[in-house]
Amino acid sequence: MSFQRARTEEQRTQRRRQIRDAAAAMLAEVPVAKLSLNELSRRAGLAKANVLRYFESREDVLLDLLDAEIAEWIAELEQAPRLGRGTPRERGDHLADLWATSMANRPVLCDLLSAQGAVLEQNISTDVGIRHKRRARQSLQALVELVRRHLPDLSEAEAASLVETTLLMAMTAWQCSRPSPEMLAAYASDPELAAMRLDFTDLVRRTAQVTASGLLARRQGADRVAAAVVEPTS
């Protein structure tokens, strides 16, 4: 079948989705570092030159996929039930567990996030960078709003700190918790070494829990100080 260029905006959107879906299927099998544009083109059923009609590079495809994965993840989080009652700390722990387990169930998202700064944001144009960062800004704001629905005790700035800290840990933890076959063999050889193996879900959960608890404690301390201030009487 000969290639037919998409001529309408709807057709272009469908063709971009076709390429993005092929990339997602590949990342279920191989890490970002092993995804080549040539193989992606083959999986998408298009010539490499035709893929480049819709994306300027492999990194452009993967950034578009990252944006889509984040949007789907946020939609999933928004559908999750909130802890109706409980102390702020209990609600924070609930949110931390929800965040960690949901990310662990999305390995494609985690792999893309871990490669974002060092790989995906390198071989791109300024226009692609602007488009990606605008989407990322919208996603971060959606996550801040989600945190505040679970933890209204936090200010917007405090919720943003929780989001940023947890995401940064997730990006690092994913890389560190994916040992090579040689490291797996090393862990298997010695129980003391096995204890050093990092668990992604546990790391992200603990980071979110400790960060939320610290922010809540600082907030409560500030509130107590404010309440202790005696206003001068006229």
> Any idea what the CATH number is for the domain that residue 16 is in?
1.10.10.60
Helix 58-79 vs helix 88-104: angle between axes, to the nearest 10 degrees?
Answer: 140
Question: Same structural domain for residues 162 and 92?
Answer: yes
Helices (DSSP H) in 80-199: which residue ranges?
Answer: 88-104, 107-115, 126-150, 156-176, 181-189, 191-194
Residue that has been written with the tokens 């005790």 in this structure: 153
Q: Which of 34, 55, 76 is the last residue of a domain?
A: 55
- 130-149 core/surface letters (b: 16 or more CB in 10 A; e: else): ebbeebeeebbebbbebbbe
Do 78 and 32 sit in the same domain of this protein? no
User: What is the per-residue pLDDT for 108?
Assistant: 95
Model confidence band, residue 1 (pLDDT cutoffs 50, 70, 90): very low
What pLDDT is attached to residue 227?
62
pLDDT of 219 = 81
Q: Taking 70 as the threshold, does the pLDDT of residue 232 lie above it?
A: no
pTM of the model: 0.86
122 vs 57: CA distance, rounded Å: 10
Q: Which of 38-42, 118-122, 160-164, 229-233 has the lowest mean pLDDT?
A: 229-233
Q: Mean pLDDT across the stretch 31-49?
A: 92
Same domain flag for 8 and 90: no
Using the predicted structure, report yes or no on whether residue 144 has a pLDDT greater than 80.
yes
The answer to whether position 74 is within a domain reads yes
- Please give the Cα distance from 172 to 113 (Å, whole number): 9
Taking Cα atoms as reference points, which of 167, 161, 146, 149 lies closest to residue 212? Answer: 161
Helix 58-79, helix 126-150: angle, nearest 10: 10
Domain span at residue 27 reads: 1-55
> Is the dihedral angle over the CA atoms 200, 202, 205, 210 positive or is it negative?
negative
- What would the mean pLDDT of 118-126 be, rounded to a whole number? 92
> 8, 35, 33: which is closest to 23 by C-alpha?
35
Type of residue numbered 150: H
What is the CATH number for 140?
Answer: 1.10.357.10
Q: Give the end of a domain, one of 55, 75, 92.
A: 55
Mean pLDDT of 14-36: 93
Domain count, the chain: 2
The closest of 218, 230, 208 to 104, measured between CA atoms, is: 208
Yes or no: say if 118 and 34 are a contact pair by the CB < 8 Å rule: no
pLDDT tens across 65-82, in order?
A: 999 999 999 999 999 988
